[in-house]
Chain A
Amino acid sequence: MRHVISVKVENRAGVLARVAGLFSARGYNIDSLAVSQTEQEDVSVMTIVVRGDDRIIEQVKKQLNKLIDVIKVSDHSEYPSIQRELALVKVNAQPAKRSEVYQIAGIFRAEIVDISLKTVTLELTGEPERIDNFIELLRPYSIKELIRTGRISMSKE
């Protein structure tokens, strides 16, 4: 099962390497990893999407907690949270097909951020599952380039 784990860490050199090293050393699979600042200057947050059965997820959380620089580990799969991701998709869109691409973008409320003679680049922010759907619909038009930020997650009050 897929779990979204939010890890608050000390904002120090080497912390990312510690966390990433833990995953590779113990053979855990990361789907995505996003690191950013928080409201506190000396704290960073990592949102890690990891797959595994209950025992593996339990170990992932315990091992993360064991790292000295980790302040708090919370599993956002266990309670309500807001999850977002941003994607940039560069689609092959010849003039004849362009209006169809625009329509899909319109339905998803994606933004057109760049246009060239042969391509359109779209930006979409939303729940990762919504981005999955968006990308699936764009596939027939041939995607030239795709990039996603990885999921970020905040627990609901």
Chain B
Amino acid sequence: MIKWIGFFIFPEVRLELDKKRRTGRTAVKMTGAEIIIESLKKEGVEHIFGYPGGAVIPIFHQLFDAPFNFYLARHEQGAVHAADGYARASGRVGVVIATSGPGATNLVTGIATAYMDSVPLVLFTGQVSTEMIGNDAFQEADITGITRPISKHNYLVQRVDDLARIIKESFYIASTGRPGPVVVDVPVDVSRAETKFAYPEQVNLRSYKPVYKGHPLQISKACKLIEQSKRPVIYSGGGVISSNASAELREFVKKTGIPITTTLMGMGAYPETDPLSLKMLGMHGTCYANQAVHDSDLLIAIGARFDDRVTGKISEFIPEARVIHIDIDPSSVSKNVQVDIPIVGDCRQILAEINKMVKAPDIGEWIDYLQKLKVENPLTYKDSGSRIKPQHVVERIYALTGGKAVICTEVGQNQMWAAQFFEYSEPRSFISSGGLGTMGFGFPAAIGAQIARPDRRVIDIAGDGSIQMNIQELIVAVQHRLPVIIAILNNGFLGMVRQWQQLFYDKRYSHTCINFQPDFVKLAEAYGAEGIRVEKKEEVDAAIERALSITDRPIIIDFRVDREENVYPMVPAGKTIKDTITRELL
């Protein structure tokens, strides 16, 4: 009865009924746009990020009354980073819809960011109609051509009959094996064309069959090597997070007593508060992690890829170690470092197998040595009585959130301090652009993370440079009442580049001084967010507490920090741990 009243009064109820009637039957005729909506429903999608435009009007026409939470970014780059943050925080596939031409090209940085960090995304881009492709039509860009080297795969949908299969394959490819972004380019006439819709039950790709199960012989060889080792170290990366292997990793450490260091992407997989944690390694990693890896006789790499920011000078990275490498991507194995025992497959499954048979090595002396290193070379900074040190801000955020926040970062000094002075204990609680190093990533990613984790406070630790790269997304957080906290470590510099200029380029601060900047408090207020400025050290705690007490809107805290603070320790690019800079050069 109520439905019938609705039928006459509310057109959207009628639309809904209409649609029900149409989708109730099997293989009904649908337009391409309707197929996209129905396919996304079948994939269990809840949240979509995007921006409309000419070539995707048919899709947005259907989105109008579709059962998704749609987040209208204010720039397509904001949409893709938000979807990325959502995917990293939730472990699910992030979905983006943008238009052709500039809409699609605005996604490019975000696609490359997700690709470098193996984040599962499916991105729909509009395209000019099939007969216009290649004609330099209005808002035409060859986005499949542009994204070929920065996506896991991409499709140009040429026939509406292929659309459902392509969407099914896209979600499968994005989320399996080594995850990554998949672009689906949909010409506007394909969105309008009709065909019978039946969502495929299964994917059948003869050319894509990821291996999950590790080779048993390799696993038993690895266990033997582990048991015989005297100075083993675990080097754990983003693959452990993306394969949800944190529990298996913890059990592995517990069973073997082997100390563990993680990459930037791997933080949170193992609690950094644990005595066996050596925290992060690499260019700005702890001295003890880098020393441990260097001195090891066995390096157990799990879901990590021997990135140059980790290894420094490759020939002196691990002079005495044999290497076990567990990774789902065969092309990561022996790419930079020769591996003795490669195990290709899923980190979680392989660790579970190893845990069944591995025995603890006898490494008491090694542990004593590392504990001594830890005590002698802690992460530290010279605190100040009055000035705000950026490290102090990160430490206070850690203390006042009880370490329970989801931390997103921008890129540069803010990212490294956020990595160093917060102790991560849970997977997916640290979200950062590791591989591509994308400034402007953190805040939109925080929006996505807050959508994925309404139960947690999400804090973007930002710099005054990075935050201005996607500040327009503030209105999205205000609109959706997302209480994301943006903690700007404001030093008026593009700090990391300035640090390099100071250390390696004769202190010529060429175009890195950006103290000509907006009033971030007023800017927050203009958007309807909360703005707090902190200029004195004693105000830091109160500001963080006030921000944490606000739960219905985003908060910007403009921390005026010590301007020329540097990130230490630092292994200069391409150098070895002997060249580590641990304090200011005099």
Cβ of B64 under 8 Å from chain A? no
Counting CB contacts under 8 A, is B331 at the interface? yes
Q: Does A96 contact B (CB under 8 A)?
A: no
Contacts of A71 in B (CB 8 A): 206-207
Residue B396 at the chain A interface, CB threshold 8 Å: no
Contact residue among B149, B173, B205, B206 (Cβ-Cβ distance under 8 Å from A25): B149
Q: Which residues of B contact A63 (CB under 8 A)?
A: 331
Q: Nearest Cβ in chain B — how far from A42, in angstroms?
A: 10
Taken together as a complex, chains A and B put the C-alpha atoms of A111 and B79 apart, in Å, by 63
Given contacts A68-B173, A70-B207, contact A59 B148 (CB under 8 A): no
Q: In the complex, are the beta carbons of A68 and B144 less than 8 A apart?
A: no
Task: Say whether A68 contacts B205, CB under 8 Å.
Answer: yes
Query: What is the bound-complex CA distance between A21 and B144, given in angstroms?
Result: 12
- A133-151: CB near B (< 8 Å → 1, else 0) gives 0000000000000000000
A14-B148, A17-B145, A68-B153 given; A62·B205 CB < 8 A? no
Classify the interface of chain A: helix, strand, loop or mixed: helix
Give the complex CA separation of A58 and B342 in angstroms.
14
Residues B156 and A13 in contact, CB atoms below 8 Å apart: yes
B329 and A66 contact, CB distance less than 8 A:
yes
Q: At the interface, yes or no: B334 with Cβ under 8 Å from chain A?
A: yes
The smallest C-beta distance from A60 to any residue of chain B, in angstroms, reads 10
Q: Interface readout for A11-36 with B: 1 if CB under 8 Å, 0 if not?
A: 00110011001100100000000000
Per-residue contact bits, chain A 77-111, to B (CB 8 Å; 1 contact, 0 not):
00000000000000000000000000000000000
Question: Contacts A17-B145, A18-B148, A25-B149; is A66 near B331 (CB within 8 Å)?
Answer: yes
Given contacts A62-B331, A68-B205, A68-B208, whether A14 and B144 have CB atoms under 8 Å apart is yes
A75 at the binding interface (Cβ < 8 Å) = no
Q: Is B92 an interface residue when CB atoms closer than 8 A count as contact? A: no
Query: Chain A nearest CB: distance from B306 CB in Å?
Result: 13
User: Cβ of A55 < 8 Å from any Cβ of B?
Assistant: yes
- Assess whether B152 is in contact with A68, with CB atoms less than 8 Å apart: yes
Contact A59 B153 (CB under 8 A): no
Known contacts A65-B330, A68-B153, A68-B173, A17 near B148 by CB under 8 Å = yes
**Residues of A within 8 Å of B, CB-based: how many?**
20
- In the complex, A69 has a CB within 8 A of chain B: yes
Q: Which residues of B contact A14 (CB under 8 A)?
A: 144-145, 148, 156
B335 on interface, CB distance cutoff 8 Å: yes
Contact of A59 (CB < 8 Å), options: B156, B173, B206, B335: B335
Are A62 and B149 within 8 A (Cβ)?
no
Chain B residues with Cβ below 8 Å from A59 are 331, 335
Most-contacted residue by chain B among A17, A63, A66 (CB, 10 A): A66
Chain B residues, Cβ within 8 Å of A69: 207
Shortest beta-carbon distance, A3 to chain B, in Å? 17
CB A22 to nearest CB in B, in angstroms, measures: 8
A10 proximal to B (CB < 8 A): yes
B204 to chain A, nearest CB (A): 12
**Complex formed: what's the CA distance from A68 to B173 in Å?**
9
Q: Name the distance in Å between A25's Cβ and chain B's nearest Cβ.
A: 5
Q: How far is the CB of B240 from chain A (nearest CB, A)?
A: 20
Chain B residues with CB under 8 A of A21:
148-149
Which residue of the partner chain A has the closest CB to B153?
Answer: A68
CB distance from B181 to the nearest CB of A (A): 13
Contacts of B181-221 to chain A: CB distance below 8 A: 205-208
When the two chains form their complex, are residues A68 and B207 in contact, meaning their CB atoms are under 8 A apart? yes
Min Cβ gap B191→A in Å is 19
Chain B residue with Cβ nearest A25: B149
Interface of chain B residues 126 through 164 with chain A (CB within 8 A): 144-145, 148-149, 152-153, 156, 158
Also in contact, A62 and B207, with CB within 8 A (given A17-B145, A68-B152): no
- Tell me which of A9, A13, A22, A68 has the highest count of chain B C-beta atoms within 10 A of its own C-beta: A68
Query: For the complex, what is the distance from the CA of A70 to the CA of B207, rounded to whole Å?
Result: 6
Measured between beta carbons, the chain A residues less than 8 angstroms from B152 are 68
Separation of A10 and B208 alpha carbons in the complex (Å): 11
Q: Mark B228-240, 1 if CB is under 8 A from A, else 0.
A: 0000000000000
Q: Are A62 and B330 in contact (CB under 8 A)?
A: yes
Q: Which of B152, B158, B330 gathers the greatest number of chain A CB atoms within 10 Å?
A: B330
Q: Which residues of B contact A65 (CB under 8 A)?
A: 330-331
Chain A residues, CB < 8 A from B144 = 14
Among B149, B153, B330, B334, contact of A55 (Cβ-Cβ < 8 Å): B334
Q: How far is the CA of A70 from the CA of B331 in the complex (A)?
A: 14
Alpha-carbon distance between A70 and B209 when the two chains are bound, in angstroms: 11
Inter-chain pairs besides A65-B331, A66-B330, 14 sampled, C-beta below 8 Å = A13-B156, A13-B158, A14-B145, A14-B148, A14-B156, A17-B145, A17-B148, A25-B149, A55-B334, A62-B330, A63-B331, A68-B152, A68-B153, A70-B207
Q: Footprint of A on B, CB under 8 Å?
A: 144-145, 148-149, 152-153, 156, 158, 173, 205-208, 329-331, 333-335
20 contacts between A and B (CB under 8 A): A10-B207, A13-B156, A14-B145, A14-B156, A18-B148, A21-B148, A25-B149, A59-B331, A59-B335, A62-B330, A62-B331, A66-B329, A66-B330, A66-B331, A68-B153, A68-B173, A68-B205, A68-B207, A69-B207, A71-B206
